[in-house]
Amino acid sequence: MFSKGDKTKDVATPRICDVVWHDGEFIAWNDARVHVMSHVLHYGSSIFEGIRCYATKQGPAIFRLKEHLQRFLNSAKIYRMDHTWTLDQLCEASVDLVGRSGLEQCYIRPILFRSLDEARPAFGVNPFPNPLACYIGAWDWGKYLGDEAIEKGVDVCVSTWNRLTPNSMPAMAKSGANYMNSQLIKMEALLNGFAEGIALDDRGYVSEGSGENIFTVSNDMVLTPPLSSSILAGITRDSVIQICHELGITVKERSIQRAALYVADEAFFSGTAAEITPIRSVDRITVGKGGRGPITEKIQKAFFEITKGERTAPGDWLTYVKTSKVSPADGNGSRPGATTNVGVSNRTAEPVMKFQAVGRGIE
């Protein structure tokens, strides 16, 4: 991370894909611009996703692409953002973007937001008169909480800011507005010398980090807060749960008291950006022996073997950019076991690219 005197960014951004997918077309990164009076800038009316693409021996592979984009569509539905994009179209656009980027590994950011109709501008809270805009960008993003954090862990605090109550803002939607709460948690932690903050829910139980789900380990049992604790239903969180099942590790969703963080044998964050990051202390109280514990290491090892394409995943978790097939989606998301040829739209006279999700059917 960085010192209190250098708070400008988490990690360096070494490479950015020079094109952005925008409403069905690829445009230059520098042309991806939003009017200053757009609804999203004034009222936070956006939903988005974060998806990692990993470097493998078979080329770039996007991790759980369909699950992320299905959550993207779910978030849009919750916020009544009626659009025409399908799951398959968004998957194709993401794969095409990675192919055009030349990046072996990257972070993919789809975003849908309420823009501005310049011919008939509307400036009120009412979002319906404003048109929607959909973009997908990509960049090479390193370890979110620092390269050393994966092995040594991070020091965190319990935030004075609580997560939103379930009937105030929908925690299950990944919306830009929710992340103002996350920013308060993150800034407070950084200014007090911690790498990250942990928020409690409205009842005082552990919820999640500013941008990560959380797990604890006690007596060889892995615990994680339930959806009722105002958490985002993390894709990486779900991956950890499935990996635990594969490894024969007992994992349960359970309300976690703040004090349980201090006496846990191990604790770790999960998330697209954070991946699997150990927690070595909470509120300056050492967790376990301080650092990465044996169960965290076992889960982490399996996770990174899967993302490198070296281990069979519990489901169709990797979409290889350079291969030729994709499992089509049904009305509710991915359909395990089915494959068909689906070409990516060719809007710039480049070769049509096709892709495939590999692994076993999602359980």
Report pLDDT digits (tens) over 161-193: 999 998 999 999 999 999 999 999 999 999 999
Check pLDDT > 50 for residue 329. Answer: no
Q: How many percent of the chain have pLDDT more than 90? A: 81
Distance, in Å, from the CA atom of 107 to the CA atom of 53, rounded to the nearest integer, reads 6
- Residue 174 a catalytic site member: yes
Quote the tokens at residue 181. 């709460």
Check pLDDT > 60 for residue 280. Answer: yes
Q: How many percent of the chain have pLDDT more than 70? A: 84
Question: Residue 41 phi/psi, 5° resolution?
Answer: -75, -25
Mean pLDDT across the chain: 87
Name the pLDDT band for 353 (thresholds 50, 70, 90).
Answer: very low
Q: What is the pLDDT of residues 40-54, one digit of tens each?
A: 999 999 999 999 999
Tell me the chain's radius of gyration from C-alpha atoms: 20
Name the pLDDT band for 359 (thresholds 50, 70, 90).
Answer: very low
Number of other residues whose CB lies within 10 A of the CB of residue 197: 22
Check pLDDT > 50 for residue 299. Answer: yes
Length of the chain equals 363
Q: 329 versus 245: which is more confidently predicted? A: 245
Q: List Cα–Cα distances, 215 to 22, 67, 222, 234, in angstroms.
A: 36, 21, 7, 12
Quote the tokens at residue 311. 């281990």
The pTM is what?
0.85
Residue 272, CB half-sphere, CA atoms under 13 Å: how many? Answer: 22
Check pLDDT > 70 for residue 29. Answer: yes
| CB-count exposure of residue 332 (10 Å: 0-12, 13-18, 19+) | exposed
User: One of 4, 7, 66, 174 is an active-site residue; which one?
Assistant: 174
